[in-house]
Structure 1
Amino acid sequence: MNKVDVIILSGFLGAGKTTLLTRLLQADQKHGRKAAVVMNEVGSVSVDSDAVGDGTPLKELLGGCVCCSLSDKLEIQLHGLVRDHTLDVIYIETTGVAHPVDVLEACMTPLLVDDLRIRSVVTLLDLVAWGERRSLSAAVQQLMREQVRNADLVVMNKADRLSEEERSSVEKEIRGINSEGTLLFASFAYVDVRSVMFQESQYSKGRTHAPLHVREDLHIKTFTHVFTEPVSQEAFETFVKEMPDSVYRIKGYIRFTGDERTMLLQYSYGMVTYEESDLNRTNTLVFIGDGLDHDALRDKLTAIGK
């Protein structure tokens, strides 16, 4: 039996993993490859799973990180996919706070070793966040370096927002961290799909890493809030402008007063974007950050919702 390729999509929060995943799945469909997806979310609500089409087998791991508490569940989900489907490739989209080697090790179990082949670890690096990384905690900075260091392919995303001189400088920085991997600049996660599909993993060379765990070391927490009614866009955007630096990521669905549309909201590093969703979803927002103050967030969001 042919082994199923596994491609691990790594990268810190908001780097563009889901956008790249969407492009990969579109290419698979075009070329007749049979793909499946495993998505890991630290929170208890999945938002990015909507990017996966109905015809693609999907497994979700919610409420924790594979590297800390869900490695056994990942093993079960992967085994179920290869047992129940004829597949060419499985994409594992990790949480933004996962260490890629921990995810790799969760895939390399006796139950799976005859069924899976680790094709590559792809790290999406948000160049804007990388440039501002010194404003983040030391543990988060270490995690970002580890995600870069252990990648077979580093996609340096949002390159359009850097000058040529800045690109040259950051390329030297990244090459200093990862001397063996392939480095690619990208904007909006546009890359040659072949560069992802046909990378050969260096995992067999034996990587080591300083262990980092989401709750113990990074203090990453999640907070979920549901709006029962549409909210004022002005009030919400005022709330976003006052967002503490400890909030790394917000994603979810929201409706604004006077607008019938449901909007997919994405927030990272002070920037918020909206995209019209064709799904009538509950107005649920998931916050991910360092030591989130749940009570303060709840009070502010409740006030907005009144």
Structure 2
Amino acid sequence: MKTEIYILSGFLGSGKTTLLKQLLQQEKDRNRNIAVVMNELGQVSIDSNEVEEDTPLKELLNGCVCCTIQGQFETQLHSLLQENTLDAIYIETTGVAHPIEVLDACMSPLFAHQVTIKSIITTLDATRWKERGSLSIQLQKLLQEQVKHGDVILLNKTDMLSESEKSSLLFEIQSINASARTLLTTFSRVKLDVIQKAQLSQKQPHHKAHVEDHLHLKTFVYEFTKKVDLELFENWLRQMPDTIYRIKGYMRFTHSNDTYSFQYSYGMPLYMKEMMKLPTTLVFIGENLDHAKMKQELFNLEQQSH
């Protein structure tokens, strides 16, 4: 069984830790094995005191998972998976984390086959959303991205709003992300079933290549069985649509006996020689991924390289 991953996204003070506490209690009532990764920007974690001692917890301080400490995050996640038999991992991100970056950090080629990303849950402070015009343009854009990529959106602290304000905010959020399940909440109260079943109705039976079909942001993992020709691979890369945000993994090419780590972001490929043999796997993150087509193309690439 794969370990489920739930990503809690949302601005500082929007109710993520309150949500996490409630979800952990509901998981405990079901006797499920759960771990938590908490990421904070400061040097001291305040929120980790909210997690009970018997829950495996990894803390990432002094940086955002999506930039300064991504390598550390992948190591922590890997060790949680190695050391525990887990039903699920909850990841509480910093308020300034971008959902694509967090998803990228969760999908390391070393353990992508062991996990299934179940949902991105975005918490929104209703008043802050209403008054977001007072924030910097950069933060307004980040808030919008967090809404755009959520599978479940909790419009929180709605007891402070009138009925007409609730309707207006709901309309705004649904115009940004019509396919998310948007809930009006106070104190981040939500049933675990709602989180676990988010978007699952759209899930297709999947191939050996691991695909998340229920996310707006989709992930796709391809495992190579052969070396590939570098020139053929680069020709294939040039046809990548803009909706593929990240590709990363390890590859072996016909011209060499070495293993290379490969990163692709915003159209730029980067290769680095590795000192040891690693599983030759590529992880793709993007929107509108045609996974059957990509799987066929990569398979053809392997065949044509020999």
- Give me the TM-score of the superposition, normalised by structure 1: 0.66
Within 2, Cα distance between the matches of 1:41 and 1:208? 29
1:63-212 paired onto structure 2 within 5 Å: 63-199=62-198, 200=200, 201-202=214-215, 203-204=217-218
Within 2, Cα distance between the matches of 1:208 and 1:29? 38
Within 2, Cα distance between the matches of 1:205 and 1:71? 18
Within 2, Cα distance between the matches of 1:209 and 1:162? 38
1:209 offset after TM fit, Å?
10
1:68 offset after TM fit, Å?
1.2
> What SS does the aligned partner of 1:124 have?
strand
Query: What's 1:57 paired with?
Result: 56
Structure 1: 4+ residue segments shifted above 3 A: 205-211
Q: Contact between 1:75 and 1:112, CA under 8 Å: does it hold in 2?
A: no
> What SS does the aligned partner of 1:173 have?
helix
Within 1, Cα distance between the matches of 2:29 and 2:132? 38
Query: What's 1:10 paired with?
Result: 9
Query: Against the structure 1 CA distance between its residues 209 and 65, is the aligned structure 2 distance closer, same or farther, given a 3 Å change threshold?
Result: farther
Q: Contact between 1:146 and 1:209, CA under 8 Å: does it hold in 2?
A: no
Query: What's 1:20 paired with?
Result: 19
Query: Against the structure 1 CA distance between its residues 208 and 125, is the aligned structure 2 distance closer, same or farther, given a 3 Å change threshold?
Result: farther
Q: Contact between 1:39 and 1:59, CA under 8 Å: does it hold in 2?
A: yes
Structure 2 residue ranges without an equivalent (≥5): 201-213, 221-241, 247-306
Amino acid in structure 2 at the alignment position of 1:70: I
Amino acid in structure 2 at the alignment position of 1:73: Q
Within 2, Cα distance between the matches of 1:29 and 1:146? 32
> What SS does the aligned partner of 2:186 have?
coil
> What SS does the aligned partner of 1:180 have?
coil
> What SS does the aligned partner of 1:66 have?
coil
Amino acid in structure 2 at the alignment position of 1:204: K
Within 2, Cα distance between the matches of 1:125 and 1:111? 33
Within 2, Cα distance between the matches of 1:137 and 1:90? 33
Within 1, Cα distance between the matches of 2:145 and 2:244? 7
Query: What's 1:238 paired with?
Result: none
Amino acid in structure 2 at the alignment position of 1:184: L
Query: What's 2:28 paired with?
Result: 29
1:109 offset after TM fit, Å?
1.6
> What SS does the aligned partner of 2:117 have?
strand
After superposition, the CA RMSD in angstroms is 1.8
Q: Contact between 1:35 and 1:56, CA under 8 Å: does it hold in 2?
A: yes
1:181 offset after TM fit, Å?
0.9
Amino acid in structure 2 at the alignment position of 1:96: G
Residues 129-166 of structure 1: CA distance to partner in whole angstroms, max 9, x if unpaired?
A: 11111111000000000000001110110111111111
Within 2, Cα distance between the matches of 1:69 and 1:21? 24
1:20 offset after TM fit, Å?
0.3
Within 2, Cα distance between the matches of 1:13 and 1:160? 19
Rg larger for: 2
Q: Contact between 1:100 and 1:147, CA under 8 Å: does it hold in 2?
A: yes
Amino acid in structure 2 at the alignment position of 1:149: K
1:208 offset after TM fit, Å?
5.4
1:72 offset after TM fit, Å?
1.1
Residues 59-95 of structure 1: CA distance to partner in whole angstroms, max 9, x if unpaired?
A: 0000000111111111111110011011100000000
> What SS does the aligned partner of 1:119 have?
strand
Amino acid in structure 2 at the alignment position of 1:114: H
> What SS does the aligned partner of 1:32 have?
coil
Within 1, Cα distance between the matches of 2:243 and 2:49? 34
Query: Against the structure 1 CA distance between its residues 208 and 172, is the aligned structure 2 distance closer, same or farther, given a 3 Å change threshold?
Result: farther
- Give me the TM-score of the superposition, normalised by structure 2: 0.66
Query: Against the structure 1 CA distance between its residues 15 and 209, is the aligned structure 2 distance closer, same or farther, given a 3 Å change threshold?
Result: farther
Amino acid in structure 2 at the alignment position of 1:42: L
Structure 1 residue ranges without an equivalent (≥5): 212-306
1:198 offset after TM fit, Å?
2.3
Query: What's 1:46 paired with?
Result: 45
Query: Against the structure 1 CA distance between its residues 98 and 107, is the aligned structure 2 distance closer, same or farther, given a 3 Å change threshold?
Result: same
Residues 225-258 of structure 1: CA distance to partner in whole angstroms, max 9, x if unpaired?
A: xxxxxxxxxxxxxxxxxxxxxxxxxxxxxxxxxx
